[in-house]
Structure 1
Amino acid sequence: MHFPRSFLVCLALVLAVISPCFIGAAAATQDAERQRIDSKTGLIFTHEFPANPFNMITAGEATEIKLHIDNQGELKQTVFAVSGFLSQPNNHTMPKRNLTSRSYKTAVGPSDKVTVTYKFELESEPGEHGLVIYVDVTDEEGKSRRTVGYKGLVKVVENDSMFDLQSISIYLMTLALFGGIAYMSYDSFMGGNKKKAGSRTKRAAAAAAGPVVESTAEPGKPDMDWIPQHLVDAQNGVRRQSSRIKKRQGSTSSSK
């Protein structure tokens, strides 16, 4: 199957535009599959940053992390607080800056699954940092426990950065869009001119070949239209002369 060149170019542009989105989605999916298990409560935590692919966080802007909690224990647990802190990237036990603590009242029964959304803001210098999110729970017997819902690395960027992931994706999409429009316009204009030139060439060749003359020959008889007229006249003269000679010879034989 042969595809036109313009289709292939547009397809390449579309892939160039959507590839950062697919990469970010794949990274978010892989990130959400990382689990943290608290053996004492039976809680299993997975996480995701819905609006921050590659764990890239803008300083001073609200950031959202979703904590998916699966209770595989025997007791009902209730989430009553979520908090956290920034740490050194290579040592999560050394807090650098605490995050705002938020109160909840979310029950998670045995075999239940719930999602807790925690929003926070980071006021920190750009660079890579460790991030620890605590989830405080209490069970149905009244015992409280602090569990770790997330522990990992994040990259903080300035809010006016022109080269973060989202900005780069927007730049690529804009360039690809204008590039595709420009190419299709060029291809339509130049391709149309080539087709018109080809049609004019064919018409000129047909005109140079002269008019097409249809044959007037009857069925079963040879077509004499292609023979020059003077040859046809000479041939007819020879035939008339031969018929007169035959008549004269016939009359002479009768007289004898």
Structure 2
Amino acid sequence: MARFAFLSLALFSVQALIGGTLAADAAEKAEETFEAPTLAVTAQAAFPASEIFGVKLVNGHPTQALVTFTNNEESAVTVNFIGGTLSTLDEESKLVRNLTATRYSVEIPAGEQESLSYSFATEMHPQDLRLSLASVISDAEGRFFTVYAHNGTVSVVEPETSIFDPQIIFLYFFLLTCFGGVVYFFYTVWIAPYFPQKRKSAKPETKNTASKKAEAPVDSPAVSSATTYNADWIPAHHINRPEARKVKGSSRSKSRA
């Protein structure tokens, strides 16, 4: 009975050993059969407008990246898309923003190089981020591959302001106009009523009317029509003016002299 138990245990251990060996061989064969294909294409991104201290992404201004592809395949490949992402610099990198992907569909012959321009713009708070640029490339058999072109640190900065900037000039003009309107409103509502208002005199108007009458020409048709009349029916004592009478006091003073 004890021998039978020992034989059954030995048989079970041999089956387990054989089964483990077969499973390991099957896993190795699966890894060999499902090995991911590779593409002999490299990509390198350069920033022509970058400074010595690194790449700066200016808000509101497009950033240009020049991506150079080198095809080491025996057949031609096609660059379909170029895109990118902005993420944080932490160990657990978090995605901040996806950059706009641009379609190219440019074919690169075998053993040749091709440079493509990729532009993007940002509107973010100033900070340091990680920029990753990648391209989607297809080979002659129609298989798609992702080839990375850049993975580095960039700085998001605000554009430099100038006094002669049209936007700044318009902003200053708008603020000055609003300030002047507020000051005028306060003056007319709270300050002007406390000052005595000057009354307009009628003397300047009389002077103006007198000057207008003096400036009127004598030979105007209105005056000529008023002076032309028929003098036959007017009495003579109205036409002939009476002579001035001599004053007695003046004759006495002459006689005394």
TM-score bracket, normalised by the shorter chain, equals 0.3 to 0.5
**Higher Rg:** 2
- TM (normalized to structure 1)? 0.45
Determine which structure has the larger strand proportion and give its number.
Answer: 1
- TM (normalized to structure 2)? 0.45
